[in-house]
Amino acid sequence: MKTKLLLTLSIFWAISGFAQFGSQQIISTATLKPYLSIPFDIDNDGFIDVLTASGETYKMSWYKNLDGQGNFGPEIIINETPVYYLSVKIVDIDSDGDNDILYLSNNASYIAWLENLDGAGNFGLEQIINQQDFMMTVTPTDIDNDGDQDLVAIVSNTFTSKIVWYENEDGQGTFSEENLLIQNTNEFTKILLEDIDNDGLLDILATDNVLHSGSIFWYKNLGNEIFGTQQIIYQFLYVQSGGTNIIEFQYVDLNTDGKMDIVMTSVDENSFIDTYWLENLDNQGNFGELQFLIDTGDQYLFYDLDNDSDNDMLLWNRFSDKISWKENENGQGTFGAPNIINAAADFASDAKAADFNGDGWLDIASASAGNNKLSWYKNNTLGISEYEFGNHQIYPNPTDGILYLESKQPIWQISLFNILGQRIETDQNTNQIDLSKAEAGVYLLKIEGENGNFQTHKILKE
């Protein structure tokens, strides 16, 4: 008879409440004009570090979280090649089990990566993958389903814009010449690879740059690196919208129904900036009417900042010097008034959420280019309802496969989050979860009862 090792894990949080953020804690002022604040466990010690880049010296660097409590060490340079980073992705390019750094450079425009040499924060020299006249975005994905990370990118010139992909030919970071996926007469501005129609294949969600009547649309993945014709999801009408164009969009579940909605930001010919969302009606590419979100011109990302199982808005604005957040008040996409995190973040260039002190709540990191500050803000949430300690037994832990749960009360839902607070999986009315496909590392398992109370436990995947 198989022996089961029962482990009741320590609780990261066992309360629900309204997120309150503490005062600014300076990580460093050594990076001049920082414009990135990317949370990333760079040295693989289980603590979330912060990666940044300078808008003056154009160096990429990182700051080590020394103790898992948010105390950071001095600046450590990663890349001294002068680069302005349009985007930075953390991904395993060479299939060796650790995360490398992939980025898109501006002026000159090229895609490059830095090899993670030892998993301890030491990276190799810049390796250029491809250089073109004008590249807008790069996305890592296994487009040919051979088990390694290929790249999908936008390449534009005076006469055309196209979406192309580069094959990771040996799984070690040796990439092919470009392979054409889609060509367009207008300039693509942004793409995301998402499974729009829920068939298990990643489709392309996109916008392009037009003078008026901006639209968001998708291309169905037909398999074998072939995509269908353009399908418009929403288009602004010039007469009604005043020459509105779409400049940003994200794919996120706003109304907590398990379907990913579209959040998009538009600008009209009078430079008025508005953000809206479109409800995903059926996971088949059909979306609802335009619903207003904000008109402040803030940049934004979505996280569950108050641990109530819905997505709130984290906002920052370099022109108003503000970092704030808005609560998803009913879990249906109705957001409250802004809650100020910092009203004096001089030229707030970036903000991200992650758990920097290991208490299970998402804190905020920010970069303020105007005063050279890289900072973080502790989530000091005050609880409003306690849940009985020790209600659950979870085994085996660590595990490389099925994780089993035993509970004194009926389990309604279990959700798995990574250490950055990103939801990986959600299951209802079950007492087990399969971790066999998850990467090795630390995870948080949130267990919700029928009465709305919950506990969160730390899980180790081998």
What domains can you pick out in the chain, each with its CATH number? Answer: 25-377 (2.130.10.10), 393-461 (2.60.40.1930)
Which residue from 182, 143, 146 is spatially nearest to 166, judged by alpha carbons? 143
Q: Which residues of the chain have pLDDT under 50?
A: 1-16, 383-390
Q: Shortest CA distance to 114 belongs to which of 72, 62, 45, 56?
A: 62
C-alpha span between 87 and 70 (Å, rounded): 25
pLDDT at 346: 97
**pTM over 0.85, yes/no:** no
Give pLDDT, residue 15.
Answer: 37
Angle (nearest 5°) at CA 149 between 163 and 96: 160
What is the tens place of the pLDDT at every residue in 382-425? 543 333 334 677 888 888 888 888 877 788 888 888 867 777 88
**How high is the pLDDT of residue 7?**
31
Rounded Cα distance between 102 and 164, Å, is 17
- What is the rounded (10 degree) CA torsion for 83, 87, 92, 94? -50
pLDDT of residue 452: 62
